[in-house]
């Protein structure tokens, strides 16, 4: 049920989901543990973040001094440009400020800056020293104004609009910036995203507690029971993760694994225990490993593993060599292409009616199509 909430959010194009302070804190802590100076002298841009709503801006403003930041820039998107406009509230500091403009507040984005300027002269730089103004545009991250801020920044950190994830990631990558952003785990197999993961230019972050992400949203009432919790006032997404190119310790911890023989003998998964071999794809030169904890420690060939493996991926332990969902004709491990007749027959066998079941998009074991898989190989295994 909870997984469907993200789909629901995308179809309704509701992008108003505000990240919890505790999630930001836990994630950022993982990078600081790996490198305590990771933010020293750096400019952080939060490009989808109004401080009234965004804990990202508040969090980095609070820690401006502790992290020795050079500058924090946060920009917000005009309410009139948002897909979801209900529940808009003026920020108090805007309303009480001589700069306040009743028209601009709805049609223009805002910029908030924190730097070494101790505006209230209290000897500390914090959220009280935040300067703000209206942008000339609506604050769209693709606008020339925000593009310039992107180029000025060292690190881009935010939870971007769910409906624009691909575009947002491309916007960061073209500027070659460090980043820490929230997205949907399914994005890992997008054709624009997977090559970055495969080449270790992007990886999964430390992660949400127990894999559950909770967000506040003005559109909460639209979500079903079990997704929206009226007590906490939050909506739960199970398929969210952090994407980053900043290093953290967890990604260097190898997975503890059993040998192939031990998996077949002792695995807790009935799909493997007692079998004589792992499945082998009919159309790829690789074995099918249905669970990340069942990856054999002593197999030198290519293995198809679940996407959730990426959360445990240690680049010192494995190389990612491809994906089975790309349908790329140049996949080096492809051994067989199904004809459309074979695809139709497979559909009819499975569902008892006419249709096309594109067997080529996935790995197929004994005529049965598997879930999305990522192809990996043990580090150091012969090419
Ligand atoms: C998922 S919410 C996250 C908000 C905030 N970053 C947080 O984590 O609490 C994404 C935000 O991006 C804003 N947004 C949508 N399209 C945008 C665009 N083209 N440029 C900038 N912001 C946009 C939405 O209005 C929304 O407030």
Where in the chain are the domains? 2-252, 260-378
Q: Is 171 in the pocket of ligand 1 (CB under 6 A)?
A: no
Q: Is 56 in the pocket of ligand 1 (CB under 6 A)?
A: yes
Q: Is 49 in the pocket of ligand 1 (CB under 6 A)?
A: yes
Angle at 194 between CA 191 and CA 198, to 5 degrees: 140
169 CA from centroid of ligand 1 (Å): 13
At 1 the pLDDT is 39
Cβ–Cβ under 8 Å, residues 145 and 113: no
Residue with tokens 């917000």: 76
Can you name the residues that pair with 374 across neighbouring β-strands?
A: 305, 323
Ligand 1, pocket-test mutation among 46, 84, 146, 160, most atoms within 8 A of CB: 160
Q: Which atom of ligand 1 is nearest to the CA of 53?
A: 9
Running DSSP on this structure, what letter comes out for residue 230?
T
At 67 the pLDDT is 97
Averaged pLDDT in 10-residue chunks for the chain of 383 residues: 50 79 97 98 97 90 95 95 76 83 92 90 85 96 98 98 94 97 92 93 94 83 70 86 97 97 97 96 96 97 96 97 76 90 92 91 90 94 70
124 CA from centroid of ligand 1 (Å): 29
Spatial separation of the C-alpha atoms in residues 19 and 217, rounded to whole Å:
9
Q: Is 140 in the pocket of ligand 1 (CB under 6 A)?
A: yes
Q: What is the DSSP string of 287-341?
A: EE--SGGG--TT--S-EEEEGGGGGG--TTTEEEEEESSS--TT-TTB-----HH
* Residue nearest atom 22 of ligand 1, based on CA coordinates: 48
In this structure, the dihedral spanned by the alpha carbons of residues 305, 310, 316 and 320, taken in order and rounded to 10 degrees, is 50
Q: Is 311 in the pocket of ligand 1 (CB under 6 A)?
A: no
139 CA from centroid of ligand 1 (Å): 10
Angle at 61 between CA 58 and CA 63, to 5 degrees: 110
| CA neighbor of 241 nearest in space, from 196, 156, 183, 313 | 183
At 66 the pLDDT is 94
* Residue nearest atom 14 of ligand 1, based on CA coordinates: 161
| CA neighbor of 308 nearest in space, from 295, 321, 327 | 295
Q: 341: which 2 tokens?
A: 């007749």
At 2 the pLDDT is 47
| CA neighbor of 333 nearest in space, from 286, 367, 383, 278 | 286
């Amino acid at each position: 049920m909870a997984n469907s909430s993200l789909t629901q959010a995308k179809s309704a194009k509701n992008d108003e989901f505000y990240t919890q302070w505790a999630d930001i804190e836990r994630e950022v802590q993982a990078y600081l543990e790996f490198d305590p100076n990771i933010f020293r002298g750096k400019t952080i841009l939060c490009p989808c973040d109004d401080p009234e709503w965004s804990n990202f801006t508040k969090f980095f403003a609070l820690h401006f001094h502790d992290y020795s930041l050079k500058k924090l820039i946060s920009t917000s998107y005009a309410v009139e440009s948002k897909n979801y406009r209900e529940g808009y509230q003026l920020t108090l500091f805007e309303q009480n400020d001589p700069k306040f403009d009743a028209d601009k507040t709805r049609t223009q984005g805002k910029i908030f800056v924190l730097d070494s300027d101790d505006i209230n002269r209290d000897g500390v730089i914090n959220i009280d020293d935040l300067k703000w103004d209206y942008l000339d545009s609506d604050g769209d991250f693709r606008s020339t104004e925000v593009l310039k801020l992107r180029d000025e920044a060292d690190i881009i950190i935010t939870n971007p609009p769910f409906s624009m994830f691909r575009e947002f990631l491309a916007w960061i990558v073209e500027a070659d910036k460090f980043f820490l952003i929230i997205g949907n785990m399914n994005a890992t197999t997008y054709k624009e995203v997977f090559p970055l993961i495969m080449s270790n230019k992007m990886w999964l972050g430390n992660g949400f507690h127990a894999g559950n992400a909770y967000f506040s949203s003005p559109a909460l009432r639209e979500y079903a029971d079990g997704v929206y919790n009226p007590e906490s006032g939050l909506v739960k997404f199970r398929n969210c993760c952090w994407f980053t190119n900043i290093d953290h310790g967890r990604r260097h911890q190898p997975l503890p694994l059993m040998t192939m023989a031990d998996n077949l003998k002792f695995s807790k998964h009935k799909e493997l225990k007692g079998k004589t071999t792992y499945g082998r794809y009919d159309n790829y030169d690789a074995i099918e490993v249905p669970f990340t904890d069942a990856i054999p420690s002593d197999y030198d060939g290519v293995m198809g593993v679940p996407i959730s493996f990426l959360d445990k991926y240690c680049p010192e332990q494995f190389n990612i060599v491809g994906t089975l969902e790309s349908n790329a004709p140049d996949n080096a491990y492809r051994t067989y292409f199904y004809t459309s007749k074979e695809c139709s027959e497979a559909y009819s066998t499975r569902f008892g009616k006419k249709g096309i079941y594109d067997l080529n998009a996935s790995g197929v074991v004994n005529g049965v199509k598997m879930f999305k898989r990522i192809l990996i190989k043990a580090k150091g295994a012969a090419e």
